[in-house]
Amino acid sequence: MQARGLRRTYGTGRGARVILDGVDIDVAGGELVAIVGRSGSGKSTLLQLLGGLDRADGGEIRVAGRPVTGVSERVLSALRRDEIGFVFQFFHLLDELSGEGNVLLPAGLPGADPGAAGRGQALIDRLGLRGVAQLAPHQLSGGEQQRFALARALVADPSVVLADEPIGNLDTEAGTVVLELLRGVADEGRAVVMVTHQPEAAAIADRVLELRDGRLHELP
């Protein structure tokens, strides 16, 4: 995954606020990069741009060699479906579906990989969720919900995984499990970008970048 010169401004005129001011980032397959920074520095905004959930005001992004910027919504939707997995702090599971149903939801989308459903079932087993697979999200612990969310993010076998504060709502034990899973996702060859404010999460990263004054700075 590559991004060059990303700019994002909120507001107009005198009220305009520059959030990202020429951000560059490269993340190779097999690498886990943590992005840190003070609250409001633009970390989540950057992640949304990288995943095509928001549009940059300037710059370009490529995922798996495919452009994210400057493409139609149809092309962008297919790219998100095929190449990008998202893991969010608040899980974003649909409560009307079981944990298993949430994992398999992307497999039912038009154009989905025919092997996605089988991959989803295998992920449920691998993540130790089979015993609670039929429960609704509100019946699950936070750690279980995040593991289901991670399985859903991986069901399409994406090349890039974007995680926004993935352990922000978890206790220490559950957070440790999720961090180990994310480390394993990177070790399998995916590019993983994780926004975090927690030292234990940054500690598992190959590189730590601080978002400061609209730009990324690599930390020692």
List, in order of start, the domains of the chain with CATH numbers: 2-218 (3.40.50.300)
Q: What is the SS3 assignment for the chain?
A: CEEEEEEEEECCHHHCEEEEEEEEEECCCCCEEEEECCCCCCHHHHHHHHCCCCCCCEEEEEECCEECCCCCHHHHHHHHHHHEEEEECCCCCCCCCCHHHHHHHHHHCCCCCCCHHHHHHHHHHHCCCHHHCCCCHHHCCHHHHHHHHHHHHHCCCCCEEEEECCCCCCCHHHHHHHHHHHHHHHHCCCEEEEECCCHHHHCCCCEEEEEECCEEEECC
To the question of pTM greater than 0.85 for the whole model, the response is yes
Task: Tell me how far apart the alpha carbons of residues 70 and 55 are, in angstroms, rounded to a whole number.
Answer: 9
Regions of the chain short of the pLDDT cut 70: none
Contacts of residue 186, defined as CB under 8 A and 6 or more positions apart, other chains included, come to: 30, 31, 32, 161, 192, 206
| Token representation of residue 217 | 């700075």
Task: Tell me how far apart the alpha carbons of residues 117 and 135 are, in angstroms, rounded to a whole number.
Answer: 18
CA 143 to chain CA mean position, Å: 17
10-50 pLDDT per residue, tens: 888 888 889 999 999 999 999 999 999 998 899 999 999 99
Q: 123 with 154: CB under 8 angstroms?
A: yes
Note the pLDDT of residue 105. Answer: 92
Q: What angle, rounded to 10 degrees, do the helices at 116-126 and 142-154 form?
A: 150
CA 220 to chain CA mean position, Å: 24
Strand partners, 4: 60
Note the pLDDT of residue 76. Answer: 92
Note the pLDDT of residue 33. Answer: 98
Residues listed for the chain: 220
